[in-house]
Every structure is written in structure tokens, then in C-alpha cells.
């Protein structure tokens, strides 16, 4: 069953008023809100469910219209999220290790912006996520200019003053995508367990010599 919607740890934000009114003159106005869930639709930008401070719940607010601080230097919506959502099947996690970590994001025009980790969206049960060379998750990041980003691993360089102390040891072009996801049971034709109720059963090679 498709998930479509996922709860998140709610956070205060600003929503661009023109998303509500569809008026160009409202593009520089912002309303306060809490974002409390995400919605993932295959082939579309990631969206959020929000509640404003005047009591309106609005669904499907694009990530491009949500800000942590009122932006001074906004970027185009298609820079903020590199790839559309892969599926309605999604999960949300905040990785403890990455929480509030700083990073540099390489945007599609090769410009670099600084950001801070917020959470991660991961998709499953779709042709892209199931193909090892196409798999991608989306890290939700807070850009220093206030906007949110949804970017994959290969567009982020993480910073940690105590751990990330070296430059890349090889040319980045030498780092390749995964081409398979191993299955340990794919080797079952070579091994067989005892056919009994023993808790500590033996595993024996089935190779015939």
C-alpha cells in the first residue's frame, strides 16, 4: 500500500503568500506556519502539509515555497530539488549522525551553497529505487539563505571539523554508482541446512564434486 503522506518532526517556517493567492505582487510576502508532514507524489516536487498561525491547514505546499527565514537571495524551484519524487512509497528519517551537520551543496548550475541537515526522504518499491544504479534518497537541508533543499548524496559535500579533515584522495570521476545490491540467499544453490528441528542447525556445502 502506498504511503503518500508521512509525519515529520514539525518545524516553524514561512510560506510564500503568492502560493496561496496566486498573485505575483505577493511573491515577497510570507506567512508563519508549522510544517508537520510531507507528501510524495511520483514525478512531482516534494510537498509539505502546513498549518498557518491563523488556522489554515494547507496540503501540497511545494518545498520551494517554504522557508526557515525570509530569504534575501532565493533560487529557482528546480535548483532546490534536483530530481522529482520517485514514488508515493516514502519514508522519513532524521539521521542522528547527520543532524545539524553543515554541508556544501552543488547546484545544477555548478554554483555552491552552504546548508544544514534537517532530515531525509527515502523512496522504495519503484523502478528507480529498486535499480541500484538509479537509487537516490533526498536529504532535506536548510540553505543559509533560508530556503529548503532536497538533494541526493552525490550533490553534497559534508563538513565536520573533527572528522572531515582531508581532501578527496582520488578524482571524483573515479567514484562510480552501485551496479548491484547483493543477496546472500542468491547463493542458496551452493549451501543447504540440516532438515531437522535443531536450534543450532548445521549449514553444509551442496557442491557435488
Is 201 among the domain residues? no
With contact defined as beta carbons under 8 Å apart, do 73 and 145 qualify? yes
| Residue 169 grid cell | 584522495
CA separation for the pair 102, 53 (Å, rounded) = 30
Q: Of residues 191 and 46, which shows the higher confidence score? A: 46
CA separation for the pair 114, 141 (Å, rounded) = 9
With contact defined as beta carbons under 8 Å apart, do 191 and 205 qualify? yes
Mean pLDDT of all residues in 31-51: 98
Is 114 among the domain residues? yes
Confidence of residue 198 (pLDDT cuts 50, 70, 90): confident
Is 133 among the domain residues? yes
Is 190 among the domain residues? no
Is 131 among the domain residues? yes
Is 16 among the domain residues? yes
In this predicted structure, the answer to whether residue 50 has a pLDDT above a threshold of 90 is: yes
Which residue range is the domain that position 10 belongs to? Answer: 5-170
Query: Helix, strand, or coil here: 180?
Result: coil
CA nearest to 10, candidates 88, 54, 65, 66: 66
With contact defined as beta carbons under 8 Å apart, do 69 and 146 qualify? yes
Residue 208's pLDDT is what? 58
Is 209 among the domain residues? no
Residue 79's pLDDT is what? 98
CA separation for the pair 3, 129 (Å, rounded) = 15
CA nearest to 78, candidates 149, 184, 161: 149
* H/E element, 23: none
When mean pLDDT is compared across 177-181, 199-203, 205-209, the lowest value belongs to 205-209
How does pLDDT run across 114-166, given as a tens digit for each residue?
A: 999 999 999 999 998 888 888 899 999 999 999 999 999 999 999 999 999 99
Confidence of residue 2 (pLDDT cuts 50, 70, 90): low
Is 207 among the domain residues? no
The number of domains in the chain is 1
Q: What percent of the chain has pLDDT over 90?
A: 73
In this predicted structure, the answer to whether residue 189 has a pLDDT above a threshold of 80 is: no
Amino acid at each position: 500500500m502506498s504511503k503518500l503522506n508521512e509525519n515529520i518532526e514539525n518545524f516553524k517556517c514561512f510560506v510564500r503568500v503568492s502560493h496561496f493567492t496566486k498573485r505575483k505582487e505577493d511573491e515577497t510576502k510570507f506567512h508563519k506556519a508549522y510544517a508537520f508532514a510531507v507528501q510524495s507524489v511520483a514525478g512531482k516536487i516534494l510537498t509539505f502539509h502546513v498549518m498557518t498561525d491563523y488556522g489554515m491547514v494547507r496540503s501540497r505546499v511545494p518545498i520551494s515555497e517554504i522557508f526557515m527565514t525570509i530569504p534575501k537571495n532565493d533560487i529557482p524551484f528546480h535548483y532546490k530539488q534536483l530530481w522529482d519524487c520517485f514514488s508515493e512509497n516514502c519514508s522519513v528519517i532524521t539521521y542522528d549522525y547527520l543532524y545539524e551537520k553543515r554541508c556544501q551543496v552543488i547546484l545544477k548550475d555548478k554554483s555552491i551553497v552552504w546548508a544544514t541537515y534537517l532530515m531525509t526522504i527515502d523512496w522504495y518499491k519503484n523502478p528507480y529505487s529498486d535499480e541500484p544504479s538509479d537509487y537516490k534518497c533526498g536529504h532535506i537541508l536548510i540553505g543559509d539563505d533560508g530556503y529548503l533543499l532536497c538533494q541526493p548524496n552525490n550533490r553534497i559535500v559534508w563538513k565536520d571539523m573533527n572528522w572531515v579533515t582531508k581532501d578527496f584522495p582520488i578524482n571524483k570521476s573515479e567514484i562510480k554508482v552501485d551496479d548491484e545490491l547483493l543477496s546472500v540467499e542468491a547463493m542458496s544453490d551452493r549451501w543447504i541446512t540440516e532438515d531437522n528441528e535443531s536450534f543450532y542447525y548445521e549449514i553444509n556445502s551442496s557442491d557435488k564434486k
